[in-house]
Amino acid sequence: MKVIIIGGVAGGATAAARLRRLDEDAEIIIIERSGYISYANCGLPYYIGGIIERKSALTLQTPESFWSRFRIEARTGSEALGIDRARKEVRIRNLRTGEEYTEGYDKLILAPGAEAIIPPFPGVDDRRIFTLRHTEDAFRIREYAEAHRGGKAVVIGGGFIGLETAENLTHLGLEVTLVQLLDHVMPTFDSDMAAPLHRELRDNGIDLRLGTAVQGFRDEEGGRLGVITDKGSIAADFAVMAIGVRPDSSLARDAGLELDPKGSIVVSASMQTSDPDIYAAGDAVAIRNAATGRMGMIALAGPANREGRVAADNIAGIRSSFRGASGASILKCFSLTAASAGISEEAAAREGIDCGTAVAYPNSHASYYPGSEGILIKVLYEKGSGRIIGAQAVGREGTDKMMEKLSMAVSLGLTADDLAALDPAYAPPYSSAKDPVNIMGYIISNKEKGILDEFSWRDIPSLDPESTMLVDLRTVKEAERGMIEGAVNIPLDSIRGSLSMLDRSKTIYVYCRSGLRSYIGARILQGHGFRARSLSGGYLFYSLVSEDRKKKQGESAIFSL
């Protein structure tokens, strides 16, 4: 059996190695356009910043090592030009010599990946404008950035690549402006959960321009690059475009394979395309979103590796299926860790899913053990069923392992009751007896059962003092450091003795630091016949979001909606 794999890196290289382990006799050839067969794509921003010092550290396998270990022929610097499905041949060009030739196959795997989106802005072909997708891109950006230390760079796009590139350029001593079209960074996050990231970026010297549209580029005085936006021009030494990727599916389209409306290659659970002898894996394919059940592009290394393995299994005669992905991802943003899985609240609304949310600030490990820090967590669930459909978190220690559990919940379709029943490993240096994931399950379960009635930071501006009363349940010392306007401070431990201060004709809106005391307070009030609601995420979340909105709107008011 002869198998040609078009594209290396996560999907293609994984498929090749797996296929060799299953079939020692197969002839396997990888056709890779770049000069590298398998490299650390996700490590490229860290090479730019010098965190990864050596070029060689990015190279996971070379054509020589692939041949030595697996007897797989990896042809780098080679481009697949077309596929003749009837003749089962691939037309290939050697980019070094210009020679063109054909190569026959019994089975073909497409792993072309994705390509950076470059809108047709005026001046976009300027040599000072870079994209970051391949190893060679990282080499060029680092070389140019090092030659302009102390200068200024503009990063366009606030997703993973944009934030990682912005951070690493600051490590090289550049002044960095980050331009983002949306009103928040990290499109997989809701705008409120991005608030701590905005503060972290600003605190580390990033000039953050949210809600700003790039319109083109031009030359400025002194030989600098002008980045033209709808809010003025930004002068810089260079710019990095990181506004997203699209599937590199032109080869599949030209071969007549089925694509979805957005250009991704349509595959079955076995990673088989509309041609039974052609499989596909990686960023160019449409896979099942575990939260919504819909097919679409999830351009991440983890799913790409698993897809490549499934394709190889089925070619080798082993029945194997790809179940889909939760889209779990994680990002280092200076001292913070930001992670998400599933869909956001905004995405759920677009999908027509009746979505509820739970926000909390549990500790990373037992509070009495040194070094414990809070993790801001937001979990999304489908109302009625309690099924977990998404999660977002920002923190430091423990954020990664907590999101791994929540990603599993999304992937497996677990409910809030399942979260509450999970049995994580516990010791004081690592977690709490009530694990953060358990706590999120408790909150959602209480909401679904009518035990907990919450309100959001969004509701605060519209509270009517004629029908509501806002009560701060924190201690006097906590309240002295700042309160929500219009609130009355009654510490939780004094609430039973202060019932006469409350108006039974009004709904009592209570809040505390993070939500636990206000839940207890609301239950006490409800037990005494009051209508009471608790602030989701507490004063911590409220203050983060309100501070962020003041900065974005440039107003003295807390926020306006």
Of 411, 417, 371, 419, residue with least CA distance to 395: 371
The size of the chain, in residues, is 561
- In angstroms, the CA 147 to CA 150 distance is 9
In Å, what is the CA distance from 361 to each residue of 149, 286, 332, 395, 414?
A: 39, 35, 19, 9, 22
Give me the catalytic one of 42, 333, 355, 512: 42
> Which string of b and e fits 255-288 if b means at least 16 CB within 10 Å?
bebebeeebbbbbeeebbbbbeebbbbbbbbbbb
Torsion angle, CA of 111/112/113/114, rounded to 10 degrees?
A: -160
Look up residue 405 and give its two tokens: 């559990």
Active-site residue flag, 42: yes
- In angstroms, the CA 76 to CA 79 distance is 8
- In angstroms, the CA 538 to CA 460 distance is 12
**What type of residue is 40?**
A
Residue pair 166/206 in contact by the 8 Å Cβ criterion: yes
In Å, what is the CA distance from 446 to each residue of 342, 418, 519?
A: 22, 13, 10
If you ran DSSP here, which 8-state letter would residue 140 be given?
H
Query: How many degrees, rounded to 5, is the angle at CA 413 between CA 410 and CA 415?
Result: 95
Of 395, 393, 377, residue with least CA distance to 334: 395
- In angstroms, the CA 83 to CA 7 distance is 14
Q: The tokens 């498929």 sit on which residue?
A: 15
Give the active site residues.
42
